[in-house]
Amino acid sequence: MTDLVRLEVADGVGTIRIDRPPMNALNAEIQHGLVDACREAGERKDVAAVVVWGGEKVFAAGADIKEMETMSYTDMVDHSALLQDFTRALARLPKPTVAAITGYALGGGCEVALACDFRVAADDARLGQPEILLGIIPGAGGTQRLARLVGPSRAKDIVFSGRFVGAEEALAIGLVDRVVPAAEVYDTARTMMARYAGGPAYALRAAKEAIDRGLEVDLDSGLEIERMLFAGLFATRDRATGMRSFVEKGPGKATFEGA
């Protein structure tokens, strides 16, 4: 893993920290680092949920344009797979994730946030997909995940114009889930993820997979995905623990082991 991306773990919550001041421009090293950090977070048993954070000042202001400016078509044919890989790795992380957004989440930075399950934004945060102003389009999932999150019409407005979206508008259209003062963003995101520590890890994983995969298929196929994942959880010890606890003590009192 690179020094520009770190996985820090405390009390069951992992923080994937992007650290390339001043603007956390997402160069190839960071993109590889995010893939590695997501893989490690997914494998570690002491990580129940993940916060993605760029620090107190900025989440990520986009891809490294200086790095891309001199690329040829064939260079980008090779590099574009990585653009998809690092956001796909985050989207497929089999645990709850939240983006803690301060300052700017633009271009690739917005695409990182879109790949998370939830987004907490500072009240002065600005989000957007300004690639059109460079004569290109989003390439790390922005055209797809944004449209699925806020609807195609709003996504087209944001992508076609390249404009920045303020925190309150982002909350109103569903682009972010919570808006808090900038100083409270990280703690709020950690609190959201802390609720999953000590939870039924395989059930959470199945719930995320059922929702995400189900959105990509027709209803009958989605119901079949749900049915198979539901049945599979009867092989876990947490399912037995949860049901036994419910029968003996009532709801919400089970102590899970994540197995």
Identify residue 120 by its one-letter amino acid code.
V
Active-site residue, selected from the candidate residues 29, 40, 43, 131: 131
Helices (H), 215-259: 219-232, 237-249
Q: CA-CA distance, 151 to 104, in Å (whole number)?
A: 22
Structure tokens at 71: 């690329």
Structure tokens at 118: 């939830």
Residue by residue, DSSP assigns 75-99 as HHHHHHHHHHHHHHHHHT-SS-EEE
Backbone dihedral angles phi then psi of residue 61, each to the nearest 5 degrees: -90, 10
Structure tokens at 256: 């899970």
Q: CA-CA distance, 2 to 65, in Å (whole number)?
A: 20
Length of the chain: 259
Active-site residue, selected from the candidate residues 40, 56, 111, 257: 111
Q: ∠ at Cα 95 (93, 96), nearest 5°?
A: 110
Is position 131 annotated as part of the catalytic site? Answer: yes
Residues identified as active-site: 111, 131
